[in-house]
Amino acid sequence: MNGGMYKADHTPQGLYIENKKTETPVDTTSGNGNFYLKPNGIFYITAVNTAVICSTADFYDNGAIKYATQSGPMLVNNNQIHPAFQKGSTNLNIRNGVGILPGGKVVFVMSESLINFYDFANYFKTLGCRNALYLDGLVSRTYLPAQHWIQTDGDFGVMIGITENL
């Protein structure tokens, strides 16, 4: 699935680390759009394969981060739904995001139908995620043949994939 927001030239919007190399620095500026709805956040995998989601303000690169993507807004931050989200909002869109389940497993969620931010965030909270990050919206696509979910159209920047060694 797409793994964060990107600029018109397809470069990542905000922090992007791949194989311990920072390709794009953290973006702490202000602006318009979902990316800048504070708190926004960062999803990263450490060198010892621990998954972490934190707000951009709480992020610290200790040099042991293998992969990272910055996006926004935080859906759930320290077990609280983002304060800007409203129950019953008519701001409906396809959405995808990432959360950390109790026990440290990562869950990626892609809506099959239009959903507002509050309900999307609440879904992560009901799963037990103390932190969850919005990755993208309207352009979100997922390729998961085992679940008969094959979306190969789209125009992407950052992608998240899970592979297996055979």
Task: Extract the tokens encoding 31.
Answer: 């602006």
Question: Considering the chain, what percentage of its residues have pLDDT values greater than 70?
Answer: 81
pLDDT of residue 129: 98
Is residue 106 a contact partner of residue 83, using CB atoms and an 8 Å limit? Answer: no
Burial class for 136, CB neighbours closer than 10 Å (0-12, 13-18, 19+)? buried
Could you please report the per-residue DSSP string of 26-63?
------SSGGGSSS-EEEEEETT--EEEEEGGG----S
User: pTM for this structure?
Assistant: 0.88
Whether 46 has a pLDDT exceeding 60, the answer reads: yes
Enumerate the β-bridge partners of residue 119: none
